[in-house]
């Protein structure tokens, strides 16, 4: 029986690297994978999953209006697909998480989602909230704070390195805009 998985972490824990490695492992054994990423994350180009260590792969894109159930059902019709992998899963809608659960339940294809749990203000992303509620398996991918503790939060910074405490939930960026911290250091910086 296939399952819906949510692998989450703070920024810079290697989520995309783990996703690309999982896809490689399937393909190395002659199995097909279907990769997705959020259209709005175009840091490496639209439809690209790229890790900080240089791994990359092309992926289909999803937006809020994308019907993932219909798209995946059509893509796998008459072809054997062994896994669906979704990067930037925090940008999924609740409806899309239900669609991915249906892929696992009705098409018997495992769905592995990788994304952030919370935003820079410590709030759940809608996609992450739905994944935490609906996933069969939750896995935290760990990274560390500058103090050595587990980093589970991020702060957003401006070009001068000053912490930004308010703003839109979604602002695409990497090390240029975000710093992963443990909860204690996040509280100190956001306080």
Tell me how crowded residue 25 is: count the other CB atoms within 10 A of its CB.
Answer: 12
- Cα 165 to Cα 18: distance, rounded to the nearest angstrom: 30
Q: Which domains does the chain have, with CATH numbers?
A: 4-141 (3.40.50.300)
Active site residues: 88
Is 180 a residue whose pLDDT tops 80? yes
Mean pLDDT of 141-150: 95
Contact 150, 182 (CB under 8 A): yes
Taking CA atoms, 176 is separated from 28, 66, 182, in Å, by: 34, 29, 19
Sheet holding 178-181, edge to edge: 163-164, 153-157, 178-181
Q: What is the value of pTM for the model shown?
A: 0.91
What is the DSSP secondary structure assignment for residue 118, as one 8-state letter?
A: B
Is 105 a residue whose pLDDT tops 80? yes
- Cα 103 to Cα 98: distance, rounded to the nearest angstrom: 9
- The values of phi and psi at residue 116, to 5°, are -80, 150
pLDDT digit string, tens, across residues 125-137: 999 999 999 999 9
What is the SS3 assignment for 62? strand
């Amino acid at each position: 029986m296939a399952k819906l998985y949510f692998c989450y972490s703070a920024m810079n824990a290697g989520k995309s690297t783990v996703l690309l490695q999982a896809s490689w492992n399937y393909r190395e054994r002659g199995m097909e994978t279907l990769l997705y990423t959020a259209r709005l994350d175009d840091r490496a180009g639209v439809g690209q999953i790229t890790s900080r260590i240089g791994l990359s792969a092309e992926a289909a894109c999803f937006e809020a209006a994308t019907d993932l159930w219909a798209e995946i059902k059509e893509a796998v019709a008459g072809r054997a697909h062994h896994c669906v992998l979704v990067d930037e899963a925090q940008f999924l809608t609740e409806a899309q998480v239900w669609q991915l659960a249906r892929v696992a339940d009705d098409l018997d294809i495992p769905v592995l989602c990788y994304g952030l749990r919370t935003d820079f203000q410590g709030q759940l992303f809608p996609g992450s909230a739905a994944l935490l509620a609906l996933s069969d398996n939750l896995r935290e991918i760990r990274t560390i704070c500058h103090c050595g503790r587990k980093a589970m939060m991020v702060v957003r910074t401006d070009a001068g390195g000053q912490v930004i405490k308010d703003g839109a939930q979604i602002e695409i960026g990497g090390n240029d805009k975000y710093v992963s911290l443990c909860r204690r250091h996040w509280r100190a910086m956001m306080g």
